[in-house]
Amino acid sequence: MNSMRKLALFLLTAVCVHAQQASIFKAGPDMTAPRMGHHAVTFSDGKTVLFGGHGTNFVSLASADVLNSEGTAFTTLTMQYTHDMPALARLADGRIFLAGGSVDLGIPQYATSELYNHSAGTFTAAGSMVRFRAGAGAIQLVNTNILIAGAWWTHNDAHTYGEIFNVTTPGFTATKALNNPRSYPIVVPLDNGKALVLGGAGITGGAAPETIEQYDPATDSFSVLQSALFTGETGWAAGGSQSYMRPVTDQKCADGRYLFLATKASTPPQLYTVNPTTGTIAKVMTAGALSATISYYPPLVDTSGTSAYLLGITGTSGVVTYYNLFRVSPVTGALSDLGSDSLAWSTSGMSVCMRRNGSILLSGGSSSANGSNFTPVVKTRVIIPGDAVTEISKKKGLYTTGKPVVTRHGSKIVVNVPAIIDGAALVTVTNCKGQVILSAQRGELSGTQPLVLQDLADGLYILRITSPGMQYLASFALTR
């Protein structure tokens, strides 16, 4: 071998494995404008869209920010209408339904609705609800109609009556009255065509009714299914749509159950599931109770549906927010701490969502220590959960068929990424300092256009390929 650099493939040392398996917390790209109280939705092409919310001085927004699949930049779309705290639902065909919302200063006033077609990047007006409302929950039923329930404040009686949006017609009709009016409820579809309405908040704030109601499309009516979230226990708050700010369907696990988080005063929070086949609600008993002193965000179900992440706020100092990331299994209850981080802003109005590549996006919030709605931030933060990282190979040498192959051709380092890695995958190479040497989407790397690195300094490099539902990790070292 001449004096040109040699390429050697090594296993990660124990130290490096530990470092790579620790979660990575890093600044994300700025949104196009300050935003808080928005909904965050990730699509199958890897992009994430932030819908509406409100901006500086509590001004309601008619815009949506689109984060590219690489996670490097936002662009802006203009919606047909303003939507701050609207009803939002993901349809089976991939479209997003938005209805109602508040004018400036969070005052409910809008009844207008629209449908977002992500593949076309367009918004289409879909008519007006029977009653204007903000702070409602929504879900698509088995019959394809969308059920809307709940409303914030007492400007009208929208909190007492639901609505049905007929996707085919399209058009809105009012339902019969709920037994217990509420705002920001969680609405869960059942396999028998019915839906559960639970949790939320009081119509002017405070605790929501503890009752669980069931909507029956055959009679267009609501009935009380049970008097409390957990049989024989009172005082549990089932959570509300204002905490999730993403489609309810994102809470669906691989086994079909929906995963949520309940809270109770002076008591550790409790994960629970809703079984859409039976309509039953059951606790998820974690291996070690969640802490009563940590304020948890609702669980984020990962792209595989087999794990979930909990963002736990552990404290604040002025505007700085400290938090930990936890992983939990909805099936076994296994619980692990994946690391801690801090934000330079208040999490009030911040949205949290999973990305297709397995990362977590935190977007928006307030620059005021008191979480003021008048001072939203433009910042985002990205978390790469450490437990998602696994090694590609357990031995030296080239990788086997179906795995990324690293070879040396003169002064070039060539990484051939196999076709099994889909086009939404993100390929990155970083040095030991965490500096990104190259970042590219798999769709840009065809068989005739492999990932090529030139003129690298001596040292250890980390190759990471993040694909929906999995992550590959390997290292290679350059020596003279």
Question: Does one domain contain both 349 and 409?
Answer: no
Average pLDDT taken over every residue of the chain: 85
Residue 35: how many CB atoms within 10 A of its CB?
A: 30
Q: Dig out the tokens for 261 from the structure.
A: 């988080």
295: pLDDT strictly greater than 60: yes
Among the candidates 384, 410, 430, a domain finishes at 384
| 351 part of a folded domain | yes
Q: Are 139 and 188 in contact (CB under 8 A)?
A: yes
pLDDT grade, residue 376 (50/70/90)?
very high
Q: Dig out the tokens for 28 from the structure.
A: 């994300």
Question: Does one domain contain both 158 and 264?
Answer: yes
Question: Does one domain contain both 357 and 457?
Answer: no
Among the candidates 328, 363, 384, a domain finishes at 384
Q: Dig out the tokens for 300 from the structure.
A: 């984020």
pLDDT grade, residue 464 (50/70/90)?
confident
CATH number at residue 339: 2.120.10.80
Distance CA 71, CA 48 (A): 9
Q: What is the mean pLDDT of residues 6-12?
A: 32
Question: Does one domain contain both 43 and 136?
Answer: yes
CATH number at residue 472: 2.60.40.3080
- Provide the whole-model pTM: 0.80
Question: Does one domain contain both 75 and 30?
Answer: yes
Q: Dig out the tokens for 479 from the structure.
A: 């020596």
| 1 part of a folded domain | no
325: pLDDT strictly greater than 80: yes
Q: What is the pLDDT of residue 23?
A: 81
Question: Does one domain contain both 118 and 231?
Answer: yes
Beta pairing partners, 453 = 413
Distance CA 150, CA 90 (A): 18
421: pLDDT strictly greater than 90: no
CA distances from 332 to 21, 289, 306, 451 (A): 22, 13, 10, 40
Task: Give the tens place of pLDDT for each residue, 38-59.
Answer: 999 999 888 999 999 999 999 9
Distance CA 186, CA 250 (A): 12
Among the candidates 360, 384, 408, a domain finishes at 384
Question: Does one domain contain both 377 and 463?
Answer: no
410: pLDDT strictly greater than 60: no
pLDDT grade, residue 60 (50/70/90)?
very high
Question: Does one domain contain both 54 and 186?
Answer: yes
Question: Does one domain contain both 365 and 244?
Answer: yes
| 105 part of a folded domain | yes
Q: What is the pLDDT of residue 384?
A: 83
Q: Are 57 and 374 in contact (CB under 8 A)?
A: yes
Q: Are 376 and 325 in contact (CB under 8 A)?
A: no
Question: Does one domain contain both 380 and 419?
Answer: no
Q: Which of 439, 440, 423, 421 is nearest to 431 (CA)?
A: 439
Q: Dig out the tokens for 1 from the structure.
A: 């071998």
Domain residues for the domain of 427 are 6-17+389-479
| 164 part of a folded domain | yes
Residues in CB range of 446: below 8 A, 6 or more apart: none
Phi then psi for residue 152, to 5 deg, are: -95, 130
Q: Tell me how long the chain is.
A: 480
Q: What is the pLDDT of residue 187?
A: 98
Structural domains of the chain, count: 2
Question: Does one domain contain both 294 and 438?
Answer: no
Beta pairing partners, 51 = 39, 64
Question: Does one domain contain both 319 and 186?
Answer: yes
